[in-house]
Structure 1
Amino acid sequence: MGRPVTLDVLHGSGDGPRPTLYLLDGVDAEGVSDWLTKGHAADFFADKPVDVVFPAGATGSMYTDWEHPDTTLGWNRWDTFLTGELPGVIEPYLHSDGQRAIAGVSMGAQGAMMLAHRHPGLYRAVAGLSGCYSTVDGTGSAVTALTVASRGGNVMKMWGPPGTLDWISHDSTVGAEALRGTVIYLSAASGVPGAPDLTELLRSPDIVGSLQAAGGGVALEAGARICTENFARRLTDLGIPATVHYEPTGIHAWEDFSAQLGPAWDTLATAFGR
């Protein structure tokens, strides 16, 4: 991609080789991962027997390979980096046991699922939190385009015009059969603010600005819920097992995302025999 890629790594507990979890950020994937600054991941994984890798610098990229460089977002080849280059560099450094999983939130949830279905067998498990997993249906295509555009990117530089072959091949509902045999976890909330969301609003020094952001979080999480239900239905139709968790309250915000880290790990850990 013509630039350094920064990684943060949490070393797992216990002696001996451990599995590796690649944990993808949301749309603002610059600098230090929001999983560390907002999602309490360091505290959560402190006593877990897994090494966790947090890539940075993927803002608005969908964690995919783009067809052309973008004026704002640069040259993105995240599929190649995450699946073809990074494991061979980071896993020997970590003395990994060779087992790996991938998970993500929001844009990272969609990216994790795309990478898992496009590279069958590379990951033992995949988890998507509050993501959208289609790039072809009306909701999925719109969410994908809006994600890129929200950070100044030109979605035409990514896979060309919506509905063409690259858009179809990145649709996890279309490619769901490739996930057979992979441990799968999905979660989404309802978009209805819960107690943690209201508490976070009261703590904000800019309550008006936070209320406006929360309104966007309501809409985004409601959309993620529809996307998750559609994808879970597709897996059921194919007879592919998945653990699916729906929260009755919660918006598209980090307090709600971090609450799903425990249930997601409980499922991912089964793929490692933990």
Structure 2
Amino acid sequence: MRPRLPGCLVGALIAALLCLVGVAVWLPGQKEEPPAPEPARTPVEVVAERRLDERRMELTIRSDALGATTKVRLLLPDRWESRTDWPVLWLLHGGLDDHTSWTAKTDVEALTRGTGVLVVMPDGGRCGSYSDWWNGGAGGPPRWETYHLGELLPLLEARYRAGGRRAVAGYSMGGQGAMLYAAKGGFEAAASFSGALHILGPGVPQAVMAGTAIGCFGTDWKRIWGDPEEQRDVWRAHNPYDLADRLKGVELYVAAGQGDLVEDLANRAARSFAGRLEELDIPARTHFSRGGHNHTSWQRELHRAYPMLMSAIGAGAS
């Protein structure tokens, strides 16, 4: 008769074998393990990443700040994968355009080639104004500023090799956005081409209202900043003219043309902004010339501002 193993030893052997093959074991007297917690939801998530060619990459992003998905286009520097701290140039589009407009309507791909800079072109919404919308005082989506600076910027640094030295430039609505974002800090240079840099200047609030109502049909313009009189503090909080003192130490470029109604308004607003900078003893490069509210003018101004923008962030040959 073969010797019998004690029951406790048999149970221990069975448990060990089952653990080796990955089977969960519950023995009498043991407490049941609680289920693993669900992974925490992040405020921003890349849901698609597409390489369009050697330099162009397009991301589709889910954003809590927007309550929706959105896109961003990147122009990658040569040998992008060789380092993790590339200088970054943000290019912001105008009110009726999108994240593809800079590459589709200007020569920015050729201009930036070989200069060792990661170019970021995010969608900013039609008439989004690079702002967290007031929405009748309730706030909530869309929150473009929170998305760009609080969600997208950290994502680019964590996953897409962006460094901490940044410049920002934009045209029309994007010119205003460039100065707003620079006033928040974190950008070493900012350039505005035909931007509404004094949204409370003569005739500008009316132009903002009309442009939103016509260009973004169905959008209540008061959702963005409210009424310019009743919510004047909200307008001032998004007015580069009123935030000019926060731009000390930032390399600045301000340009506007003259030749059509919209550009004439932008010109007056830009000159008021430049005058305010002068009052505050904040240096800025300015260029006021003939030219319309169009991509031909904005491409020309980007070329003029580009050496300053690159120098400010230490970009050169890649």
TM-score (norm 2): 0.71
Q: Answer with 86-95 or 9-18: which moved more.
A: 9-18
**Structure 2 letter corresponding to 1:39:** T
Residues matched between the structures, number: 240
Structure 1 residue 122 and structure 2 residue 164: aligned? no
Instruction: Give 1:83-232 correspondences, 5 Å limit.
Output: 83-117=149-183, 119=184, 121-149=185-213, 150-152=215-217, 153-163=219-229, 164-191=232-259, 218-232=260-274
1:140 to 1:114, Cα distance in 2 relative to 1, 3 A: farther
**Structure 2 letter corresponding to 1:181:** G
1:102·1:126 contact (CA, 8 Å) conserved in 2?
Answer: yes
Hey, what does 1:243 align to over in structure 2?
A: 285
Hey, what does 2:122 align to over in structure 1?
A: 55
Hey, what does 1:12 align to over in structure 2?
A: 77
Hey, what does 1:82 align to over in structure 2?
A: 148
Cα deviations by residue, 1:96-125 (Å, 9 ceiling, x for unpaired): 2211121110011011112222x1x31111
Cα deviations by residue, 1:197-220 (Å, 9 ceiling, x for unpaired): xxxxxxxxxxxxxxxxxxxxx211
1:107·1:147 contact (CA, 8 Å) conserved in 2?
Answer: no
2:196·2:266 contact (CA, 8 Å) conserved in 1?
Answer: yes
Identity among equivalent positions (%) equals 30
TM-score (norm 1): 0.82
1:61·1:148 contact (CA, 8 Å) conserved in 2?
Answer: no
1:62·1:148 contact (CA, 8 Å) conserved in 2?
Answer: no
Hey, what does 1:203 align to over in structure 2?
A: none
**Structural RMSD (CA):** 1.8
Hey, what does 1:272 align to over in structure 2?
A: 313
Cα deviations by residue, 1:150-202 (Å, 9 ceiling, x for unpaired): 212212111211132111111111111001111111111222xxxxxxxxxxx
2:201·2:269 contact (CA, 8 Å) conserved in 1?
Answer: no
Deviation at 1:94, TM superposition (A): 2.6
Q: Which segments of 5 or more consecutive residues in structure 1 lack a partner in the other structure? A: 192-217
Cα deviations by residue, 1:43-101 (Å, 9 ceiling, x for unpaired): 221222110111125111111111229xxxx9421010111111110122232221112
**Structure 1 letter corresponding to 2:70:** V
1:184 to 1:233, Cα distance in 2 relative to 1, 3 A: same
1:12·1:46 contact (CA, 8 Å) conserved in 2?
Answer: yes
Where 1:265 maps in the other structure, the secondary structure is helix
Deviation at 1:270, TM superposition (A): 2.2
Deviation at 1:13, TM superposition (A): 3.6
Hey, what does 1:262 align to over in structure 2?
A: 303
**Structure 2 letter corresponding to 1:170:** H
**Structure 1 letter corresponding to 2:152:** L
**Structure 1 letter corresponding to 2:130:** Y
Aligned structure 1 segments of 4 or more residues deviating by more than 4 angstroms: none
Bigger strand share: 2
1:180·1:240 contact (CA, 8 Å) conserved in 2?
Answer: yes
Q: Give the distance between the partners of 1:58 and 1:97, measured in 2 at CA.
A: 25
1:51·1:94 contact (CA, 8 Å) conserved in 2?
Answer: no
Q: Give the distance between the partners of 1:104 and 1:155, measured in 2 at CA.
A: 21
Q: Answer with 232-241 or 253-262: which moved more.
A: 253-262
1:107 to 1:11, Cα distance in 2 relative to 1, 3 A: same
Q: Answer with 101-110 or 155-164: which moved more.
A: 155-164
